[in-house]
Amino acid sequence: MTSEEKFKKVVSHAKEYGFVFQSSEIYDGLSAVYDYGQNGTELKNNIKDYWWKAMVQLNDNIVGIDSSILMHPTIWKASGHVDAFNDPLIDNKDSKKRYRADVLIEDFIAKTESKVKKEILKAKKKFGDKFDKQQFLETNNRVVHYQNKIKSIHNDFSKALENDDLIGMKKIIDDLEIACPVSGSKNWTEIKQFNLMFGTKLGASSESAMDLYLRPETAQGIFVNFLNVQKTGRLKIPFGIAQIGKAFRNEIVARQFIFRMREFEQMEMQFFIKPGTQKEWYIKWKEDRMKWHLSLGLGKENYRFHDHEKLAHYADAACDIEFNFPFGFKELEGIHSRTDFDLSNHEKFSSKKLKYFDSNDNESYIPYVLETSIGVDRMFLAVFSNSLCDEKLEDGSSRTVLKLPAILAPVKATILPLLKKDGLPEIAKGLVEKLKTEYRVSYDEKDAIGRRYRRQDALGTPFCITIDHQSKEDNTFTLRERDSMIQERLNFDELLKKIDSAVSIKSWI
Distance CA 498, CA 114 (A): 47
Residue type, 500: D
Distance of CA 155 to the CA centre of its chain: 29
Task: Find the binding residues for ligand GAP in span 235-254 (CB under 6 A).
Answer: 249, 251
- The reply to whether 260 sits near ligand GAP by the rule CB under 6 A is yes
Tell me the C-alpha distance between 34 and 19, whole Å: 10
Under DSSP, the state recorded for 506 is G
| Nearer CB in complex with ligand GAP: 89/153 | 89
Is residue 264 close enough to count as binding ligand GAP by CB under 6 A? yes
Output 260 or 482, the one with its CB closest to ligand GAP: 260
Q: How far is the CB of 223 from ligand GAP (least distance, A)?
A: 10
Q: Which is nearer to ligand GAP, 264 or 453 (CB)?
A: 264
Shortest CA distance to 99 belongs to which of 313, 249, 255, 322? 255
Smallest gap, in angstroms, from Cβ of residue 266 to ligand GAP? 5
- Of 40 and 375, the one with the shorter C-beta distance to ligand GAP is 375
Instruction: Indicate the DSSP class of residue 104.
Output: H
SS3 category, 337: strand
Closer to ligand GAP by CB, 24 or 507: give it: 24
Whole-angstrom distance, CA of residue 45 vs CA of residue 408: 8
CA distance 505 to 1: 34
In the complex with ligand GAP, the residue whose CB is nearer, 237 or 374, is 374
Binding segment (CB under 6 A) for ligand GAP, from list 20-28, 293-301, 330-338, 421-429: 330-338
With binding defined as CB under 6 A, does residue 345 bind ligand GAP?
A: no
Looking at the Cβ atoms of 253 and 432, the one nearer to ligand GAP is 253
> Applying CB under 6 A, does 333 fall inside the site for ligand GAP?
yes
* Shortest reach from residue 19's CB to ligand GAP, in Å: 16
List 40, 88, 240, 334, residue binding ligand GAP (CB under 6 A)? 334
> Cα separation of 77 and 345, whole Å?
9
Chain residues 97-126 in contact with ligand GAP, contact rule CB under 6 A: none
- 266 binds ligand GAP per the rule CB under 6 A: yes
Q: Does 261 bind ligand GAP (CB under 6 A)?
A: yes
State yes or no: residue 87 binds ligand GAP (CB under 6 A): no
Q: Tell me: does residue 411 bind ligand GAP (CB under 6 A).
A: no
When CB distances to ligand GAP are compared, the closest residue is 375
Residues 352-391: x/- map of binding to ligand GAP (CB under 6 A)? -------------------x-xxx-xx-------------
- β-pair type (239-248, 263-273): antiparallel
Which DSSP helix (H) or strand (E) runs through 464? Answer: strand 463-467
Please, which residues have CB within 8 angstroms of residue 227's CB and are 6 or more apart in sequence? 354, 356
Strand-pair partners of 213: 199
Residue 219 touches ligand GAP, criterion: CB under 6 A: yes
How far, in Å, CA of 186 to CA of 182, rounded? 11
* CB 246 within 8 Å of CB 265: yes
CA distance 172 to 160: 9
The alpha-carbon radius of gyration of the chain (Å, integer) is: 27
Interface with ligand GAP (CB under 6 A): 217, 219, 249, 251, 260-261, 264, 266, 268, 331-334, 371, 373-375, 377-378
